[in-house]
A and B are shown apart, each in its own frame.
Chain A
Amino acid sequence: MSTTTEDRRAERNEALRRILEPELGEIDAKLEDVAARMDALREEREALRAERTDTVAMLRRIDPDNPAYAATMGRKPGQKAKPKPGDGRLVASMESQDKVEEWLRAHSDNGLESGFYAGGIMKHPAVGELGLSRATVQAALKNLAERGILRLDRMAVPEGSRGSAAHIYKLTS
């Protein structure tokens, strides 16, 4: 490609950038508005759900034999509720978080250089020193990352695993 063509392309890109920059700003602002509206709608949904629960409970007290008000939460009678995996919230105690942080620092040069995730930690030869379950380790990693002690390095399917991508963390400092 000749220099002239390159120059023309660079000029065209620059011109496009100048034209599109304000539009991108507007799109950004609109996206934020949409996100804010979604948050507001989520809150409204939660409030309506809470109201529905209260109303159904009240109706159940008035007419306890009515199957329409049975405590099935929209499920068919006899159908079991699906388990909620921790309601999506992973919380480890500060003690567990401190324990995991201490363990990570002690073994940072011992197979953890390229990052770590809960499943990998559970396979580490020194995992016995931790004495925590995989779920607790997973929650502790997430909480330590929220506190900035760990940083999310990448999302990748770990070697030898056929599962989905794991959050691979590293110590921040």
Chain B
Amino acid sequence: MNGHRHATVRDFRDRDIMLKLLAEGDEDGWVETEAMAASMGFSEDNRPPAIRLAWMRRYGMVERDEERKMWRLTDGGLRVTKSHLKAAQSRTIETVPDEAMVEVMAAVLTRYRHGEPMLAHLLRREYLFGTAPR
């Protein structure tokens, strides 16, 4: 049973679902809706994850095989899951003073405006996830 009936961007961040798809996928990366839903704790009702994946498809993060009702990461989505901050980059960010983070945010927003649409959606939705009331 799952007491939680939502799988929105305020519940699961996009990257977590993308990593989940990567982990659950077959050799070509495909996962059935039911399998994905069950593995996210929605075995009794796969609609919340299905709706969520449908939105992520609109944003270019995942693709769907309509006939087989299966999902997998797009090439862009796959690149996001494979991308990690290098240890030195991570350390640099951690040492940035809080006040200077405004400049970092400005740099992020520049990427948001001028980058790939899928990445722009991911950045916007990461902000939504991070600022959602807990």
Contacts and interface: CB of A to CB of B under 8 A. Distances in A.
Interface size class of A (residues with CB under 8 A): 20 to 34
Interface residues of B, number: 21
A71 B74 CA distance: 57
Given A152-B16, A157-B1, A157-B3, A168 B134 contact: no
B69 to A, nearest CB: 13
Given A152-B12, A156-B2, A165-B3, A146 B41 contact: no
B130 A146 contact: yes
Nearest to A151: B16
Contacts of B41: 154-156, 165, 168
Nearest to A163: B3
Interface in B29-81: 39-41, 58, 66
Nearest to B54: A24
A89 B134 contact: yes
Contacts of A90: 134
A148 B130 contact: no
A173 interface: yes
Given A142-B134, A157-B3, A164-B3, 17 more contacts: A10-B66, A90-B134, A146-B130, A151-B13, A151-B15, A152-B12, A152-B13, A153-B39, A153-B40, A154-B41, A155-B2, A155-B11, A155-B40, A156-B2, A157-B2, A168-B41, A172-B19
